[in-house]
């Protein structure tokens, strides 16, 4: 009996850590008070410049709002977390509210996103609208054509769905169409084997794999050159997006799985 108990104890001790153990624990990357650790990149401005305060903290939430501008003239905005990641999970709540800034395109309405596996903000061109990245697209229902949330968009990148290349720039998820004004829970998991899953309200809504840089995309070409010609994407930066429709984020937590 003692031998059996000893073997059982050794098996438990040598078992791999689960995602909820201290080795793989959730850590907050937004303190609810400041933008510490986050760097803005606004199209038309240098890294770190946000003269009209698109990004700010209000009521414990990280807000992206273009109310300092009279109309939208290409001021696509992203705010980057300081540390790149590879295998990870990120979860947060988001809320799309208010009205789109005049001048934007119809597709910008009730539209935001989490960019991941992104190029570093300092490598973006001054007028570049979107970082080369994968985007977990976050939508509200108040759009010319209502669509689900938790979709995938691929600025400068490509992925595989069930072994086949994605056909469209944006691929819709199986999430229901969710209204503006309410807080929605979102999560993205990038497993060690490269499988990527989007979750909305705790349920998986999209899964794909094998992210690569797109050599035909003009913005991706300098990224590929800096990578020595390598196309495979195995890591990068996280960024939250402001496209002219007010959005805010809270309870932003990260778990690294490296």
Res 167: pLDDT = 85
Question: pTM (2 decimals)?
Answer: 0.90
pLDDT higher than 50, residue 11: no
pLDDT higher than 90, residue 40: yes
pLDDT higher than 70, residue 20: no
pLDDT higher than 80, residue 19: no
Q: Which 8-state DSSP code applies to residue 164?
A: E
Res 14: pLDDT = 42
Q: Residue 239 in contact with residue 135, Cβ under 8 Å?
A: no
Pick from 94, 215, 214: which is nearest to 149 by CA?
A: 94
Q: Are strands 38-42 and 77-81 parallel, antiparallel or unpaired?
A: antiparallel
pLDDT higher than 50, residue 13: no
State both tokens at 129.
């609208």
Q: Is 239 helix (H, G, I), strand (E, B) or coil?
A: strand
Q: What is the pLDDT of residues 146-174, one digit of tens each?
A: 999 999 999 999 999 999 999 899 999 99
Please, is 8 exposed, middle or buried when counting C-beta atoms within 10 Å of its C-beta (0-12, 13-18, 19+)? exposed
Domains, the chain = 21-56+79-123+146-256 (2.60.120.560)
pLDDT higher than 50, residue 18: no
Res 258: pLDDT = 78
Work out the average pLDDT over 123-130.
98
């Amino acid at each position: 009996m003692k031998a059996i108990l000893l073997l059982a104890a050794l098996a438990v001790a040598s078992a791999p850590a689960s995602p909820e153990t201290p080795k793989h624990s959730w850590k907050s990357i937004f303190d609810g008070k400041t933008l510490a650790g986050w760097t803005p990149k606004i199209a038309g401005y240098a890294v770190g410049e946000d003269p009209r305060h698109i990004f700010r903290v209000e009521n414990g939430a990280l807000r992206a709002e273009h109310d300092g501008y009279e109309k939208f003239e290409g001021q696509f905005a992203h705010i980057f977390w300081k540390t790149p990641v590879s295998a990870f999970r990120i979860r947060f709540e988001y809320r799309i509210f208010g009205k789109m800034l005049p001048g934007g395109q119809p597709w910008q309405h009730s539209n935001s996103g989490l960019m991941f596996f992104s190029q570093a903000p300092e490598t973006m061109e001054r007028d570049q609208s979107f970082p080369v990245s994968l985007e977990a697209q976050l939508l509200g229902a108040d759009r010319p054509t209502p669509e689900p949330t938790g979709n995938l968009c691929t600025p400068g990148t490509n992925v595989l769905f069930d072994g086949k290349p994605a056909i469209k720039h944006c691929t819709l998820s199986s999430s229901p169409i969710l209204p503006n004004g309410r807080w929605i829970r979102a999560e993205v998991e990038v497993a060690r084997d490269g499988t990527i899953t989007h979750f909305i309200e705790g349920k998986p809504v999209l899964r794909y794999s094998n992210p690569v840089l797109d050599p035909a995309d003009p913005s991706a070409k300098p990224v590929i050159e800096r990578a020595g010609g390598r196309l495979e994407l195995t890591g990068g930066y996280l960024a939250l997006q402001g496209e002219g429709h007010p959005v805010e984020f809270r309870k932003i937590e990260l778990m690294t799985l490296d």
